[in-house]
Amino acid sequence: MNDDFDPTYAGARALNVLINREKILTDIKREADDESQSTRVFYITAPGGMGKTFLIRQVLSRFQPGGAWYRPDILAAHHEVDFYHSDNHTVEGATWSLYKALGSPASEFTAYLEQRARWQQAKLDLREALRDLDNSRLHLIHKFQSDLHRLTVDRRGIVIAFDTTEKIQYESDRVQRLLKLEEDSSAEGGIEELRTWLFNLLAQLPNAVILVAGRPHERLQQDLRTKLGDRLIEPELREFREQDTLQYFEEIAALSDEIKQRLSAIPEDTRRVIHLYTGGRPILLALTIDYLVASQQLLPDLLVPYEEARATAEDPARLEQIQHHLEVDIVRSLQELGRSSDDVIRSLAWTPKGMDAELLHRITGMSPENAQAGLNSVTQMSFVKVRRGEDSETARVFLHDEMYDLLKRHVLDCLPEAQSAQVHQAIKSYYSDKIKDVRERISQLEREGRGQITADRQAVWDDRFKNQKSLEKLSQAELALEKLLVEDVYYSLRHQAKDGFNLYRDYADMAFESNDFTLDMQLRDELLAFVNTLPADYTEHEHMERHVVDLDSALRWIKRYLVTARYDKAHALAGQIRQKSPELLVKPAARPELDIWDSWALVYSAQDLKRAESMLHTALNELEADKEIKKAAILLARGHNILGFLMRSFGRFHDAIKHYVEATSLWDDLDDRFCAEYANTLNNLAWARTEVGDFQQAILDCRRALELRRELGPLYPVALSHNTMGMIQTRAGNPADGRIHCEHALYIFRELNMPRGVGLAEIALAEALRRSGTNDLTLYYPEQSISLLRQARAFAIDAVNIFAKEAPEPIRQIEALRELGCIYRDWAWLRNKASSPIDNDPQSDTYNPAREVLAELGRDTLNQAARLAREKTVSYLEIDASVNLAWLYFYLDQFEDARRAIAEARAIAPPAYHLMPDTRYRKPPKATSWFWVQLGKVTVLEGNIAMQEFLASRDVGKLQQAGQSYTLALAYDDLFSPNFRDRKRAEEEIQQHLTNLRPEELDRLHEVIAETAGAYRLKPPVAMQKVLERRRPKRADHSTRAAKR
Amino acid sequence: MANHHGLSYQPESFVNHEAELALIVDKARHMRDKLPSPLNPPERQRVVKFNAERGMGKSWLLQEAARWLAHEPRIVTHYIDLEKYDSRDPEKALRDQLLPSLSARLGTSSASHSSVADVTNQLILALDDLHETLLVVLVDHVDESEKDFLDALDNRCLSQLATRPNSLLVLAERGKGHTWITLALRHPPARLQRFKADHTHEQLKLQVPDAAGSVDEIQQRSNGIPLANLLYGQEIASSPSNPPPDVIDTLLGKAQSLRRQFEALCVLRAFDELRMQAMFVEYITAPGDPAWDNLACANARKGLVATSLVRWDGDQRGYVIDEALRPILENALRVRDESLWRRLHEAAYRLYAGWADSYPRSRAEWAAEAAYHVNAMKQTTVPLSQSSGLSAEERMQ
């Protein structure tokens, strides 16, 4: 922005001289020179217009090369970090600003910059990976702290400055009370807010002089005193003394001959009167001098003799009156003088978030060129501030706070609302267009930043490095978008509070949907800044109801805890709201919404699941009953999705499917914003369908989820869907297809550097490889199958290690151990079929130990899985490991061990899940269907053992045992689902054994099935009967014989 | 001395303004006699400023004051009509004309080759030599001179006179006035008051006796502005073959190029760009004209403010036309084209009624404005149309 200063504003030209600040300058210099390595924080408070910003800028400039206080061993910020600007209201925003303020010393902040690049990439790719995203952000903050710390230790010291600290927001009293837990524990894993970060920085940074400037703020002051103790210095920034005002006149006069001539006509007596009336406040003094220079008529009170003015000034009411008249006259002069910049200055008053040429053009109708020239003409005025952006597009012009207040009081508030409505319309359209433009730019850059997933995966990795520039541009565009959204809310709130609040909610919801914590916190501060301007006891402002605002603020904290995986805090806060502020829950949707979020917390932390279920059902019923509730569809969709997840956790897959289907149909009706949640639910639904063996539909749902996620872009969810698809394909009997999907997933997770994702993909890939090698022994030679198992083993071991150490997660660790155990088991089974030589080096590419070694490894691993599952009370995994152990013994022909393992596995399932003789079976309510699956598996195994023994001995008793077990096994499977993978596998296996039986043995088996069905009161048709009939149709006398027996 | 548009000053025809005359004469006497003045202490203010729009009688007042003071002992008066000086060359005008004529009043003279500074010094020396005698300088038509000329006059002469205890400056200006460098010259001015009906009657009897019988009509149309009184009187008394100058053009003077804008806005008590737009669209816009958008209205507003006949009034929530002039404009418009006048009120009514509906916080205020225009329309002799925005009931009233 150029300096085309309008000479008619000579009196208002900004000075470059500090007046009456010797004491504070001396103190700051002394502390900077102090060798003790202690840090001092200067908390400089004064009302607006006292020159705080000017002071800290002057201090910083003195420390720069060429400045009076420059020392090469002291690093001083080039400029302050100003909390006036919303982008500094998040820790990541403030750290970035501080880094830039320090002159962007890249070599000193290598760790920070590397992490920042990772964080930017993570924001791009890790949507829905909430914990990883948050961790990446926290790493960023920690890296900054450590780099900054090292930098200060390596030098004599640093000097940094923060301005407009009164804008750092506190929650409303009520919400603050509810959040007390957070306040108390912010150091122990709470969400690091700007305030907490700043206090920690001030308290912990060594060897620094830190200037903290702002208008007086009692609470902030109290907090700083408590946190910093004697490290805090609170200098008095006093008004100008009379001699300072006189000096100010001289300094202004020295700026030009024209102004010198005009000011020379102002006698000292009048200058002293002006000092009295302006209270020695520099900004008012500058405006008054400009008024003195430019206005045709002067306020008579200014022209009275000094003694009279002094007597007047002793009466505060009279002084206030004169100051008011002076303000009115200054504004009148501005309104009537007709100077070319007057319209620009007046227009600036409409936009406290800053003005650029485009916005000025829209508000005034000036041509863009004239608007730019107009802005250039005011930049050097004492009451104008310029904030240069990352690029010329983002440079903005601001008025001094005092000037905003002055013009608002005396001009804007006087104009008809229709005028302000028109201006707000122009502002709104500016923001709408800008937001649209930036979003399009982001969309384009995101495509560039991601590159393509191609068959040649190495090339993708290269592309990502090439796209670092796009990523940096993307980061800038995202910052710009955040700023625009926050400013849009700022203006909307002030134009129509209720509309503004609704816009805030939309944007904050959007931030939540896209896991954008940075935007969320900026929006939150903007809302608080507005609410904190309202009277403390307000109950409603322009139809914006306080209890709605407070509830929203509290609920957003729950959401923040949820997206950062702090489930305990989320649940605790929900309890606080119910207990301490029930008055917040009066609106129809309030309680259901609270219950849904609370249930989320419980479900994802696996606590009190019954209560979560109950809350969810109640909430959904209430929402169903009142469709008028705004956002009911969103809440219902979310509620059904959580309930689906909960049902899946219970092993109630059919219920899970029902809720997921409900949720997907609701998401489908909503707009594109919810596309990610829609895809998430589809993915969940696909997996639930897989669990019940509905592979065809599962593949369709998962494919749709994958397509949607690819369209949306972030790679993490894409990888999740690939992994899900891989698992579905494996379970559906297509492990070769499954393997490809899992490899896609694994590649992406590795690229994203996400250990958890890598672990998940490795478990799935290991299973796909294992089943590829063992499902169809005619497909590969045994040596090839063993090679596949060897690869699977490597993945499974890696996954075990990841979930044990790198990303601890017991359930996943058990799953990885279970898979590893199955790999050893299958390998042991195949071992002697292959001619491969023995190789006992576990690290070797040809590792291939003896069968016994493999069996022992399998047994130990599965026992370890079962033990861990027992410790963690995850009974469905415990029974799973035990069942697999029983199969291991079976493969090794250790039938007694197998029977023992079967008995142990059976004992894990509660009695209500067992089929009992002479009892018609009734399903327990809300049953965990997974138990039937496992009971089915062990009972088939039991049948297999008996069948093996029969084939060896032709002992009819063994045949009877086998027939009974097969009949019950399929009955267990049918309790779960008549059509799922393990059921089909069981049928195939039984069919296989039936091929070895003679006709009369098959007839006998018909009788056994009928007897078993009768004894256990199985409902016809009996599944085993149908299986057997495919081999040998039933004759009429079978049932008669069975009946006779 | 010929007045621009009205009569030249005629002492026998001077009416009213006794208070303003007294202000000047009393101050002069007090200063001359070095007496304390409770209202305007001479030690603080040796300047009297009058501000009034065209036709209010500033020039007559200054000349009448000069006449009165001429009879006062130990008072030397000098009337300066700035219109007489070529303000394009300030130094020359001051050195060769203005300052010498003032010096001559003090009985001194300067050599023809003297510089302006020399002339000023001699003048001040002469003034200082007068001791017990007061110099009263009456400066007229300030607004007719260029800024550079006024700055030079201020620097070379007035700034020094303003500090002399035996000098009284009386200035007459219009509108916002000049931004004098000397602070003493920037006191808020005294406003000249409009004539009441009896003054108008007296004026007409002296200046246009044939129209004196129409005093009520003239007073209503002129709003008590003396020049308008004269012109409307002449209009009534004149023959069709010799019509008097147009009153509105005369009052607007150089601003007459903006007459249509003034007329479009004259029914409003205050305006801003939005209201300008509504009124301009109703009056000024012809097919094919550029639209009165925000920028066009802002520029028009600047032009209007620059005439000094429009000022900002925060209490009125907008810009206002000079309170003496606006009724004359409205009356003249109504007489000339009542239908247009009515349409403007209708447009204003629709605007304000819409605002009253749209903005609950200020509903009462805009409803009052709407009512004001309804009341104005009730005075019309032209039937109100349905497009007026008024209800049938309101139209019937």
Residue A294: list chain B partners with CB under 8 A.
179
Chain B nearest-CA residue for A342: B302
For residue A291, the distance in angstroms to the closest alpha carbon of chain B comes to 11
Give the mean pLDDT of chain A: 85
* pLDDT exceeds cutoff 90 at B275: yes
For residue A547, the distance in angstroms to the closest alpha carbon of chain B comes to 23
How many degrees, rounded to 5, is the angle at CA A411 between CA A405 and CA A414?
A: 115
- Please report, rounded to a whole number, the percentage of residues in chain B having pLDDT higher than 90: 31
pLDDT, average across residues B30-37: 79
Q: What is the crossing angle of helices A218-228 and A194-204, to 10°?
A: 40
Q: Cα(A476)–Cα(A479) distance, rounded to whole angstroms?
A: 5
* pLDDT exceeds cutoff 80 at B259: yes
Of B181, B295, B355, the CB nearest to A261: B181
What ipTM does this complex have?
0.80
Of B188, B294, B298, the CB nearest to A300: B188
For residue A282, the distance in angstroms to the closest alpha carbon of chain B comes to 22
Contact B184 A266 (CB under 8 A): no
Of B184, B314, B366, the CB nearest to A414: B314
SS3 category, A49? coil
Confidence (pLDDT) at A188: 39
Q: What is the crossing angle of helices A497-513 and A468-495, to 10°?
A: 150
Let me know how many helices (H) and strands (E) chain B has, helices first. Answer: 18, 7
Contact A262 B181 (CB under 8 A): yes
pLDDT, average across residues B126-136: 87
For residue A272, the distance in angstroms to the closest alpha carbon of chain B comes to 14
Q: Cα(B151)–Cα(A265) distance, rounded to whole angstroms?
A: 12
At B170-185, the pLDDT tens digits run: 999 887 778 888 888 8
**What CA dihedral angle connects B137, B140, B146 and B152, to 10 degrees?**
0
Confidence band for B99, pLDDT divided at 50, 70 and 90: confident
pLDDT, average across residues B360-371: 92
Q: Cα(B290)–Cα(B395) distance, rounded to whole angstroms?
A: 33
Contact B305 A418 (CB under 8 A): no
Let me know how many helices (H) and strands (E) chain A has, helices first. Answer: 46, 10
Contact A305 B315 (CB under 8 A): no
Residue B276: list chain A partners with CB under 8 A.
none
Interface contact B193, partner A, CB < 8 A: no
Confidence band for A50, pLDDT divided at 50, 70 and 90: confident
- Which is more confident, B365 or A693? B365
Burial of B241 (0-12, 13-18, 19+ CB in 10 A): exposed
> Of A301, A294, A296, A295, whose CA–CA distance to A278 is shortest?
A301
Chain A nearest-CA residue for B185: A297
Give the mean pLDDT of chain B: 85
* pLDDT exceeds cutoff 70 at A466: no
Confidence band for A459, pLDDT divided at 50, 70 and 90: very low
Q: Cα(A597)–Cα(A579) distance, rounded to whole angstroms?
A: 16
Q: Cα(B365)–Cα(B346) distance, rounded to whole angstroms?
A: 18
pLDDT, average across residues A179-199: 61
Pairs of residues, one from chain A and one from chain B, whose beta carbons lie less than 8 Å apart: 100
Of B188, B275, B359, the CB nearest to A297: B188
Q: Cα(B320)–Cα(B299) distance, rounded to whole angstroms?
A: 16
Residue A304: list chain B partners with CB under 8 A.
44
Confidence (pLDDT) at A271: 92
B110-118 long-range contacts, CB within 8 A, separation 24+: B116/B91, B116/B152, B116/B156, B117/B156
Contact A297 B293 (CB under 8 A): no
Predicted TM-score (pTM) of the model is 0.77
Q: Which two tokens stand for residue B313?
A: 């009034």
Contact B274 A366 (CB under 8 A): no
Chain B nearest-CA residue for A271: B183
Confidence band for B397, pLDDT divided at 50, 70 and 90: very low
Contact B186 A267 (CB under 8 A): no
* pLDDT exceeds cutoff 80 at A313: yes
Contact A414 B318 (CB under 8 A): yes
Q: Give Dmax over CA atoms of chain B in angstroms.
A: 80
Q: Cα(A767)–Cα(A744) distance, rounded to whole angstroms?
A: 15
The answer to whether B305 and B319 are in contact (CB under 8 A) is: yes
Q: Which two tokens stand for residue A265?
A: 């006509």
Of the candidate ranges A151-155, A494-498, A752-756, B310-314, the one whose mean pLDDT is the lowest: A752-756
Chain B nearest-CA residue for A265: B182
pLDDT, average across residues A126-144: 80
Chain B nearest-CA residue for A347: B298
The secondary structure of residue B97, as a DSSP letter, is I
One-character DSSP codes across A826-845: HHHHHHTTS-PPPB--TTST
Confidence (pLDDT) at A42: 95
Of A262, A304, A416, the CB nearest to B317: A416
Of B178, B302, B317, the CB nearest to A415: B317
Of the candidate ranges A162-166, A368-372, A922-926, the one whose mean pLDDT is the lowest: A922-926
Chain A nearest-CA residue for B188: A297
In which residue are the tokens 């079929």 written? Answer: A833
Q: Cα(B42)–Cα(B20) distance, rounded to whole angstroms?
A: 17
Chain B nearest-CA residue for A301: B187
Confidence (pLDDT) at B162: 87
- Please report, rounded to a whole number, the percentage of residues in chain B having pLDDT higher than 70: 90
Confidence band for B387, pLDDT divided at 50, 70 and 90: low
Interface contact B269, partner A, CB < 8 A: no
Of B182, B298, B319, the CB nearest to A265: B182
Contact B187 A300 (CB under 8 A): yes
Residue B302: list chain A partners with CB under 8 A.
338, 343
Interface contact B291, partner A, CB < 8 A: no
SS3 category, B14? coil
pLDDT, average across residues A741-758: 85
Q: Which two tokens stand for residue B176?
A: 């916002």
Confidence (pLDDT) at B63: 93
Residue B156: list chain A partners with CB under 8 A.
none
Confidence band for A173, pLDDT divided at 50, 70 and 90: low
Confidence (pLDDT) at A390: 56
SS3 category, A997? coil
* pLDDT exceeds cutoff 90 at A280: no
At A98-132, the pLDDT tens digits run: 999 998 889 999 999 988 888 877 777 776 676 77
User: How many other CB atoms sit within 10 Å of the CB of residue A440?
Assistant: 11
Which residue in B317, B321, B322, B350 has the most chain A C-beta atoms within 10 A of its own C-beta, making it the best mutation to test that interface? B317
User: How many other CB atoms sit within 10 Å of the CB of residue A184?
Assistant: 10
Residue A483 CB contacts under 8 Å (≥ 6 apart), including other chains = A86, A87, A394
Contact A303 B183 (CB under 8 A): yes
- Please report, rounded to a whole number, the percentage of residues in chain A having pLDDT higher than 90: 38
In Å, what is the CA distance from B27 to each residue of B31, B59, B73, B158, B253? 6, 19, 14, 18, 32
At A904-914, the pLDDT tens digits run: 999 999 999 99
Q: Which residues pair with B191 in a beta bridge?
A: B51
> Of B144, B136, B139, whose CA–CA distance to B68 is shortest?
B136
At B279-299, the pLDDT tens digits run: 998 887 777 777 888 889 999
At B193-219, the pLDDT tens digits run: 889 999 999 999 998 888 888 899 999
Interface contact B364, partner A, CB < 8 A: no
pLDDT, average across residues A260-284: 87
Confidence band for B39, pLDDT divided at 50, 70 and 90: low
* pLDDT exceeds cutoff 90 at A224: yes
Q: Cα(A823)–Cα(A826) distance, rounded to whole angstroms?
A: 5
At A610-667, the pLDDT tens digits run: 889 999 999 999 888 876 666 788 889 999 999 998 888 777 788 899 999 999 999 8
* pLDDT exceeds cutoff 60 at A606: yes
- Which is more confident, A542 or B43? A542
Of B44, B183, B319, the CB nearest to A298: B183
Confidence (pLDDT) at A677: 86
Residue B159: list chain A partners with CB under 8 A.
265
SS3 category, B136? strand
pLDDT, average across residues A681-696: 89
pLDDT, average across residues A165-194: 62
pLDDT, average across residues A24-46: 88
The answer to whether A122 and A133 are in contact (CB under 8 A) is: yes
Confidence (pLDDT) at B125: 87
The answer to whether A34 and A386 are in contact (CB under 8 A) is: no
* pLDDT exceeds cutoff 60 at B1: no
Contact A416 B318 (CB under 8 A): yes
Of A267, A299, A422, the CB nearest to B274: A422
Q: What number of CA atoms fall less than 13 Å from residue A131's CA on the CB side? A: 12
The answer to whether A504 and A485 are in contact (CB under 8 A) is: no
SS3 category, A208? strand
Confidence (pLDDT) at A823: 96
Confidence (pLDDT) at A979: 64
User: How many other CB atoms sit within 10 Å of the CB of residue A482?
Assistant: 24
Confidence (pLDDT) at A603: 84
Which residue in B160, B186, B272, B317 has the most chain A C-beta atoms within 10 A of its own C-beta, making it the best mutation to test that interface? B186
Residue A365: list chain B partners with CB under 8 A.
293-296, 298
Confidence (pLDDT) at A7: 63
* pLDDT exceeds cutoff 90 at A765: yes
